[in-house]
A and B are shown apart, each in its own frame.
Chain A
Amino acid sequence: NAGVTQTPKFQVLKTGQSMTLQCAQDMNHNSMYWYRQDPGMGLRLIYYSASEGTTDKGEVPNGYNVSRLNKREFSLRLESAAPSQTSVYFCASSSHTFGSGTRLTVV
């Protein structure tokens, strides 16, 4: 089925650990986005990629890096996780079709 696939769905990290959230879309869209969702704050843009080979910072990029591996895939990396990065992370494509989210807890 067409859409946006995110992995993993759940993750618990210790402070200082690193991990990569994966996102893939099969709709041949140019733009892809990473958001975080926190209570009382809605969705905030972390990074986006307007096209293959380009990435740019969004509203809250600190502590994150991204890679647009090809047109389909856009990954989000936490190099040294902090408790403030406990959140639900969503990937989206050009049409703002959203993945089902990754619930990350940093302890």
Chain B
Amino acid sequence: GDSVTQMEGPVTLSEEAFLTINCTYTATGYPSLFWYVQYPGEGLQLLLKATKADDKGSNKGFEATYRKETTSFHLEKGSVQVSDSAVYFCALRENSGGYQKVTFGIGTKLQVIP
């Protein structure tokens, strides 16, 4: 079956540091890939997505590139801010029997300190 692997963290960085959160996946078909962000006490919000190989998703300074050859979708940001502190979920989505099946990673907690 489908699966998504990411480290749980927490990842602790100083403000303005470079961020990488690794995400790898296994899938039976050709999934779309997503990063979601969850701020404390809130639901998940879509951060960025990529629907095919070599696509780059980007939003709010975050980027991730769909790498089919390495089955990866690593999240990067050049300079993190305290306001980026949150939990980040990598996910893949495939059409399955009439609905969109989404498989989530366990989430990586990011803490940015001033």
User: Which chain A residues have a beta carbon within 8 Å of chain B's beta carbons?
Assistant: 4, 31, 33, 40-45, 48, 50-51, 56, 90, 94, 96-101
Contact = CB atoms under 8 A, between A and B. Distances in A.
B106 A50 contact: no
Say what secondary structure dominates the interface of chain B.
strand
B44 A41 contact: no
Interface band, chain B: 20 to 34
Contacts, number: 44
Contact of B43 (A48, A56, A94, A101): A101
A31 B46 CA distance: 17
B45 interface: yes
Which of B42, B43, B101, B107 has most chain A Cβ within 10 Å? B43
B35 interface: no
B100 to A, nearest CB: 7
A41 B93 contact: no
A9 to B, nearest CB: 9
Contacts of A41: 106
Interface of B: 4, 8, 34, 41-46, 89, 93, 97-102, 104-107
Nearest to A32: B99
A44 to B, nearest CB: 8
Contact of B98 (A44, A50, A96, A97): A50
A96 to B, nearest CB: 6
A107 B88 CA distance: 30
Nearest to B101: A45
A19 B102 CA distance: 26
